[in-house]
Amino acid sequence: MNHKRWIIGLSLLSLLTVRAQDFKDFKNELDISVGYSFGSIKDLNFAPLNYRENGINYGIGYTRKLETGNLFSMRFDYADAEIETDASDFLTSDYTSGNARISYLIDVGSISNKLHFFLGGEYQTNWNKIEFQAFGVPKDSYLVAHSLNIAALLAYSLNERNTLLFKAALPLVSFTVRPPFSEFDEEFDSFRLFDGGELGSFNKYVAFDGYFLYQYTLLQNVNLNASYTFLYQKHSEENEFTRFNSRLNIGVSLKF
């Protein structure tokens, strides 16, 4: 009986750990995180006031290291928040936002075995939606931006267990959907992702986001993560929209 227990225990342990020399064989990483989303927002569709944003952020991501050393990744973040202003509690409203991106980054070089630099492009969608009551009638105001970005990633290995990453992205061309506020309907028709959008560049939509990550290797294929993300958006056409958002997240990732 004792021998069977030892065999089962060792088998379970082998599923969670690998030999140190096999660490570099991992090609895939899946991560989940949760955290606090906060910042400021001004939406002239909604009101000519500066609002504070506070809420909860959820994130999930996937990264694959290709045989060439390049990185393919996908990520989705969603925040459920409220916006409020000191002018009046009556103006407090529900606010949701999301971010989806697909990236392909090329390994352009490294300094020793500690610092790696990646450069490439990505497709990104940002959406923002405010839901509020206007004279008792549900209304919404939103901005959706589809962008082609240039992106860069720095990865620095402090030691075998501690890693720092920084990623930044800047949209070069964007397709934005920004109608005047509309009445909410049950079929969700008022929130359109593509209809009525306009193509433009820095003259219409400016954005920049950065991502700092600290990663601690708990086991050879399990990491604990702490991250800070910031995002700046400005749509400068009619009914201007400006937002600066920060997110503090903690999470876990699995390599396989």
Query: pLDDT tens string for the chain (256 positions)?
Result: 555 445 444 454 444 444 333 335 689 999 999 999 999 999 998 888 999 999 999 999 999 999 999 999 999 999 999 999 988 777 789 999 999 999 999 999 988 889 999 999 999 999 999 988 766 777 788 899 999 999 999 999 999 999 999 999 999 999 998 877 655 444 444 556 777 778 888 888 999 999 999 999 999 899 999 999 999 999 987 789 999 999 999 999 999 9
Is the Cα dihedral 127, 250, 39, 55 positive or negative?
Answer: positive
Which CATH number belongs to the domain containing residue 208 in this structure? 2.40.128.90
Let me know: does 98 contact 78? Beta carbons within 8 Å: yes
Which residues are registered as beta bridge partners of 209? Answer: 169, 231
Of the CA atoms within 13 Å of residue 166, those in its CB half-sphere come to: 4
- Which pLDDT value is given to residue 200? 82
Residue 80: Cβ-neighbour burial (10 angstroms; 0-12, 13-18, 19+): middle
Let me know: does 139 contact 184? Beta carbons within 8 Å: yes
Task: Look at the block and give the residue holding tokens 């959706």.
Answer: 144
Let me know: does 158 contact 199? Beta carbons within 8 Å: no
Task: Look at the block and give the residue holding tokens 């999470």.
Answer: 251
Judge whether 209 lies within some domain.
yes
User: Which residue segment(s) compose the domain that 65 sits in?
Assistant: 28-255
Judge whether 12 lies within some domain.
no
Q: pTM here?
A: 0.83
Judge whether 20 lies within some domain.
no
How many structural domains does the chain have?
A: 1
Q: What's the chain's Rg over C-alpha atoms?
A: 22
- Which pLDDT value is given to residue 231? 97
Judge whether 73 lies within some domain.
yes
Judge whether 15 lies within some domain.
no
Helix or strand run (H / E) with residue 45: none
Judge whether 7 lies within some domain.
no
Let me know: does 76 contact 100? Beta carbons within 8 Å: yes
Judge whether 157 lies within some domain.
yes
Let me know: does 165 contact 212? Beta carbons within 8 Å: yes
- Which pLDDT value is given to residue 149? 97
Alpha carbon of 154 to those of 68, 167, 211: distances in Å? 17, 6, 10
Secondary structure of residue 158 in the 3-state scheme:
coil
Let me know: does 245 contact 216? Beta carbons within 8 Å: no
- The count of residues in the chain is 256
Judge whether 216 lies within some domain.
yes
- Which pLDDT value is given to residue 191? 58
